[in-house]
Amino acid sequence: MSRIAYVDGRYVPHNRAAVSIDDRGYQFADGVYEVIAVAGGRLVDGPRHLERLHRSLKELRIGWTMTDAALLAILTELVRRNSVVDGSVYFQISRGVARRDHAFPAKASPVLVATAKRMDFAQVAKRQEGGIAVVTAPDIRWGRCDIKSISLLPNILAKQAAREQGAYEAILVDERGFVTEGSSANAWIVDRDGNLVTRTASNEILNGITRLALMDRAAERQIRIVERPFTVDELKAAREAFITSTTSFVMPIVSVDGQKLGDGKPGPVALTLIAAYRDQMNM
Ligand code: PLP
């Protein structure tokens, strides 16, 4: 079955989908995006993703007028047309098409592009069982990491560096030696006092939807959450650590910079939260 994409008002064969070379997303990475998981054919945490989308659009002053109901209808139809049961939808909104000039164009309509893909959740579960290796890398991103912008060069360079070192994810570290987040995920530890620790949401991290959902699940289970920065040394000495994201869910970290974390196996808090998040997704 051939994949279908959505481009600016039309469903088109994925391999023939295209945007203008004057699209500001293509020219300047002038746009925002979201990735929503699909479980059992349904979007996971749709309202929270749309809330964050609106925030990103507003911060970048992209004038988006489509209603949420219309946007959700497009995404749901795309999931249906691609027969995605378990997977994800990606969508981005650029400022639009205009003659190349850095300043905002006087007249441009935002362009929506959306794609859907299948994911093997069993493969994610297998990775969760073994846990992942991470490496640390300097966080060289800009001052507005809270905006889910399609400009991701520092993130992809960090991810590539991690992959070249045989690790799954790069954990980004600020100038003071504190972890910000992963290159495409939020970072968490269980500290020496048994608290679940993750960095406070600010302009220095993307406030993950999985992060927010997990806070709800942890609170229901009386797991104490402390939002504060933690250092690389704390990460290495943590009882447990994991990352969270839409496509990796809750993913335990078992080694940092080649050094085993704890006993080198996913810990009990991570396992509890993996199960809790699975329940939420109805997996
Ligand atoms: N932080 C960064 C830099 C990301 O790119 C992502 C996801 O892509 C996340 C955190 C996790 O966000 P979410 O849970 O909404 O997928």
The mean pLDDT of the chain is: 97
Report how far residue 122's alpha carbon sits from residue 119's, in angstroms, rounded to the nearest whole number. Answer: 9
Question: How far from 205 is each of 52, 97, 171, 277, CA to CA, in Å?
Answer: 13, 29, 12, 21
Q: 253, 125, 276: which is closest to 189 by C-alpha? A: 253
- Out of 58, 148, 236, 265, which one is annotated catalytic? 148
Most ligand 1 atoms within 8 A of CB, residue of 169, 206, 215, 246 to mutate: 206
Backbone φ, ψ for residue 31 (5° rounding) = -175, 175
pTM of the shown model? 0.97
Most ligand 1 atoms within 8 A of CB, residue of 186, 214, 243 to mutate: 186
Instruction: Please report where in the chains the tokens 């069982």 appear, as a residue.
Output: 129
Element (H, E) at 76: helix 68-81
Ligand 1 midpoint to CA 67 (Å): 24
Q: What pLDDT is stored for residue 234 in this prediction?
A: 98
Q: What is the pLDDT of residues 129-184, one digit of tens each?
A: 999 999 999 999 999 999 999 999 999 999 999 999 999 999 999 999 999 999 99
Look up 236 and say whether it is catalytic. no
